[in-house]
Chains A and B, each alone.
Chain A
Amino acid sequence: MIEFQKVGVVYNNEVEALKNIDLVIKGPTITGIIGPNGSGKSTLLKAALGVVRASGKVMLDGIQANKALKRIAYVAQKSSIDLSFPITVRECVALGTLPSLGLFKRITREEWESVDKALEIVGLSEQSQRQISALSGGQFQRVLIARCLVQNAEYLFLDEPFVGVDMVSEDIIIKILKDLKSKGKTILIVHHDLNKVEGYFDQVVMLNREIIAAGKTAQVFTVPNLKRAYGENILVERGE
């Protein structure tokens, strides 16, 4: 269970990115965090991880989240990573073993096996020795998901995992995430494409610097809530 208790974030002493966030997310679940640009979606994840300074508390099963970071696998937006870095796909996935490694310790054979298994799950075994710069956007996102699998964390925080991703990769990723949920994981996804919300998420947190609505997707993803979050001009078209 993740609990946000009166969480607030102010950037540069003037921009209030998040205010007074009170939220409880009970897992296992796939929860989408949605809202317009600049609504604090990514900041919410960063506040939980302690990457940005926040007021209030974020608790993970009763323990302060920044003291339980090994239980969280985090994938930042792809744009924050230098894709020309000299690292192979296999090595990149193996970074997921780092939280459990100490000084002097090397990656064990079992851990390399888990790396290869994760690559097999995301369908990139054949690309394992390629440099990451040779991958498409979708393939690289699958590499980052494989890294999460290796981390074997109970909580997954993913920031815009479907941006710049082809349909094949998106399908593979969502299937893996649904499988992880069935194995008891709690997954938080920052997402901007409203068309996929109902198909992907069990729960939705709708944000615009403060919580507009949170709960089961069917109850939260409604026209009145969307208008409150995105403004009256949002165009909503729904099929039967």
Chain B
Amino acid sequence: MLAEFIHGLQTFHFLQNALITAVVVGIVSGVVGCFIILRGMSLMGDAISHAVLPGVAVAYILNINFFVGATIFGIMASVIITYIKENSLIKSDTAIGITFSSFLALGVILIGLARTSTDLFHILFGNILAVQDIDKWITIVVSLIVLLVIILYFKELLLTSFDPQMAKALGMRVNFYHYMLMMLLTLVAVTAMQSVGTILIVALLITPAATAYLFTKTLKAMIFLAAGIGAAVSVVGLFIGYSYNIAVGSSIVITAAIVFLISFFISPKQRYLKRKVRK
């Protein structure tokens, strides 16, 4: 089966595109996911990944690249959520719930109105085997930009995530870094849409990062490990999906979940086994 997959990789261009896109998306999702979980923004990641749907529909209607529409709507959602949270008594999870469900519903309506050949199922659950060259290159370039921004602003992102009070006291614009991260999150959500679909993006953002968190004691180590896990589960998920003819996006997510589950039991930080043995 592995030989068949490797042969497929050597033979089929679509499979090569799928592999490269899956690995790149896995890496960048793992990296951004670290900041998302450490800032307690997992729900925000979910919201933004759902909120890009109407953007995709609008892009089809206006005949522009889906990246542009999705990014605009993703950022719009993050601004609305943050605005509601900071200017009312409504808590953030409520603001997130209202916003993302509305955006998702709007997206479903717009996709219907757009009357394109686009399959809603593929947007919702991904179709990495159909990734075109142009999409692959956009994914690579966007991911490089995201990684570059994180490298450049690593210190600031570290401090604003770890001790926002100190950051504020130093005069740092904590809100600027919040919105910057939202922007990066939106870009990752759009790139990951092809791989796992809007519904499951949050899994690729959170699960590898959460797994890495169980094994590491520094942010840098967590980021590298999350990127590695993200890439590895994407390759394994693609292999399983291609070999057994099942949805690749879901295979990637399930693979990531299994890796997390095993890690949960064996991680020295979690000490699950140690505690069980002691009992």
Contact = CB atoms under 8 A, between A and B. Distances in A.
A86 B169 contact: no
Contacts of B162: 81-82, 85, 87, 92, 95
Contacts of B216: 86
Interface string B150-180: 0011010011011111101111000000000
A104 B152 contact: yes
Contacts of A80: 163-165
Given A98-B155, A98-B159, A88 B218 contact: yes
Contact of B169 (A51, A91, A103, A131): A51
22 contacts: A49-B168, A50-B171, A51-B165, A51-B169, A66-B171, A74-B170, A76-B163, A76-B169, A80-B164, A82-B38, A82-B162, A85-B161, A86-B219, A87-B158, A88-B217, A91-B218, A95-B159, A95-B162, A98-B155, A98-B170, A103-B152, A131-B217
Nearest to A130: B217
A95 B36 CA distance: 21
Contacts of A49: 168-169
Nearest to A50: B171
Nearest to B153: A103
Contacts of B159: 95, 98
Given A70-B170, A80-B165, 6 more contacts: A51-B165, A75-B166, A76-B163, A85-B161, A85-B219, A98-B159
A72 interface: yes
Interface residues of B, number: 23
Contacts of A103: 152-153
A239 to B, nearest CB: 38
Nearest to A85: B162
A184 interface: no
A234 B141 CA distance: 66
B165 A76 contact: yes
B273 to A, nearest CB: 19
A101 B159 CA distance: 13
B218 A69 contact: no
A94 to B, nearest CB: 10
A38 interface: no
Interface string A122-156: 00000000110000000000000000000000000
B213 interface: yes
Contacts of A76: 163, 165-166, 169
Contact of B218 (A72, A82, A87): A87
Nearest to A12: B89
B170 A99 contact: yes
Nearest to B217: A131
Mostly, the A contact residues are: mixed
B222 interface: yes
B113 interface: no
B261 interface: no
Contacts of A98: 155, 159, 170
Contacts of B165: 51, 74, 76, 80-81
A101 B155 contact: yes
A95 B218 CA distance: 13
B64 interface: no
A226 to B, nearest CB: 30
B227 to A, nearest CB: 15
A81 B160 CA distance: 11
B171 A86 contact: no
A69 B169 contact: yes
B171 A95 contact: no
Contacts of B152: 103-104
Interface centre among B38, B164, B169, B171 (most CB of A within 10 A): B169
A95 B216 CA distance: 19
A222 to B, nearest CB: 33
Nearest to A99: B170
A87 B38 CA distance: 11
B221 interface: yes
Nearest to B171: A69
A101 B171 CA distance: 14
